[in-house]
Amino acid sequence: MAVSHLSLASSPTSVERQTCVLPIRVALADAHDAMRRSLQLVLAADEAVEVVGEATDLLQLEELVKGGHPDVVVLCLGLPGGSTVREIAMLRERSHETQIVVLSMEPNSAVVNQVLVAGAAGYVLKQHADRDLLPAIWAAARGESYVTPEAASSPVPAFLHSYGQPLRD
Between the alpha carbon of residue 118 and those of residues 42, 131, 157, the distances in Å are 26, 24, 12
Q: CB of 117 within 8 A of CB of 158?
A: no
Ordered strands of the 72-76 beta sheet = 49-55, 24-29, 72-76, 99-104, 122-125, 146-147
* C-beta separation of 72 from 25 below 8 A: yes
pLDDT in tens, 77-97: 989 999 999 999 999 999 889
Contact (Cβ atoms closer than 8 angstroms) between residue 86 and residue 119: no
The CATH homologous superfamily for domain 19-152 is Response regulator (3.40.50.2300)
* pLDDT-above-70 percentage for the chain: 79
Of 11 and 72, the structure prediction assigns the larger pLDDT to 72
User: In the chain, where are the structural domains located?
Assistant: 19-152
Task: Please tell me the pTM assigned to this model.
Answer: 0.81
